[in-house]
Amino acid sequence: MIPYIFHRKEFFYVVELRDDDDAIACVEVNPGTLKIERINGDGTTQMIWPN
């Protein structure tokens, strides 16, 4: 499982998901998501949505 940071206007939260496609699919059922970042194994983050 991979940790993802979901950013919203007032807060953010971390969810562990299978892959980037699963994370992006969550946007459809989470209106208000501003961006999603993947937390890599080395602690860095990478923006995966929006591209």
Whether the predicted pLDDT of 30 surpasses 90: no
Phi-psi bin for 46: left (phi > 0), alpha (psi -120 to 50), beta?
A: beta
* Mean pLDDT calculated for residue range 28-37: 93
Domain of 38, in residue numbers: 2-49
Whether the predicted pLDDT of 51 surpasses 80: no
State the total domains in the chain: 1
Under a CB-based contact definition with an 8 Å cutoff, are residues 6 and 45 in contact? no
Res 10: pLDDT: 95
Helices within 1-51 (DSSP H only): 20-29
User: How far is 19 from 24, CA to CA, in rounded Å?
Assistant: 9
Whether the predicted pLDDT of 18 surpasses 90: yes
